[in-house]
Amino acid sequence: MQRKARLQNCIIEANAWGSSKSLIMTAGIGMRTRTHRGCSTMNAGTQQIVQEAESAQKKNHSNGDLRTNKTAREIAARVNGSAVVERKPRVFVAADNRLLREAISRMLVRSGEIEVAAPEFVEPFRAEDLLKEHADTLVLSSRGNENEDLAAIRMARTMAPKVQILLIGATGEESEFLQCVRAGVRGYLPRDASAKDVLEGVRALQAGEAVCPGTLCATLFRYLEREATSFPSATVHRRMGLSRREQQLIPLIAEGLTNKEIANHFCLSEQTVKNHLYRMRHKIGATDRLGIVQVCQTQGFMP
Of 75-79, 100-104, 115-119, 236-240, give the lowest mean pLDDT range.
Answer: 75-79
Residue 193 neighbours by CB under 8 Å, 6+ apart? 168, 169, 201
248 vs 301, which has greater pLDDT?
A: 248
Sorting pLDDT into bands at 50, 70 and 90, what band is 251?
A: confident
Predicted pLDDT of residue 224: 78
Predicted pLDDT of residue 265: 84
Quick count: other Cβ atoms within 10 Å of Cβ 165?
A: 23
Residue 32 neighbours by CB under 8 Å, 6+ apart? 42, 43
Strand, helix or coil at 28? coil
Quick one: average pLDDT of 253-281? 90
Predicted pLDDT of residue 85: 55
**Whole-number average pLDDT of the chain:** 75
The three-point CA angle 105-111-116 to 5° equals: 35
Task: Give the separation between CA 148 and CA 127, rounded to whole angstroms.
Answer: 13
Sorting pLDDT into bands at 50, 70 and 90, what band is 296?
A: confident
Of 52-61, 162-171, 259-268, give the lowest mean pLDDT range.
Answer: 52-61
Task: Give the separation between CA 189 and CA 197, rounded to whole angstroms.
Answer: 8
Upper half-sphere CA count for residue 43 (Cβ side, 13 Å): 7
pLDDT in tens, 151-186: 999 999 999 999 999 999 989 888 889 889 988 999
Query: Which residue type does 32 have?
Result: R
Indicate whether 240 pLDDT > 50: yes
Sorting pLDDT into bands at 50, 70 and 90, what band is 291?
A: confident
End-to-end CA distance of the chain: 115
Task: Give the separation between CA 203 and CA 167, rounded to whole angstroms.
Answer: 14
Indicate whether 104 pLDDT > 70: yes
Counting other chains too, the contacts that 48-53 makes at CB distance below 8 Å and 24 or more residues apart are 49/20, 49/23, 49/24, 49/75, 49/79, 50/17, 50/20, 50/21, 50/24, 53/19, 53/20, 53/23
Is there a contact between 142 and 114 (Cβ–Cβ < 8 Å)?
A: no
Indicate whether 65 pLDDT > 90: no
Residues in the chain: 303
Predicted pLDDT of residue 70: 42
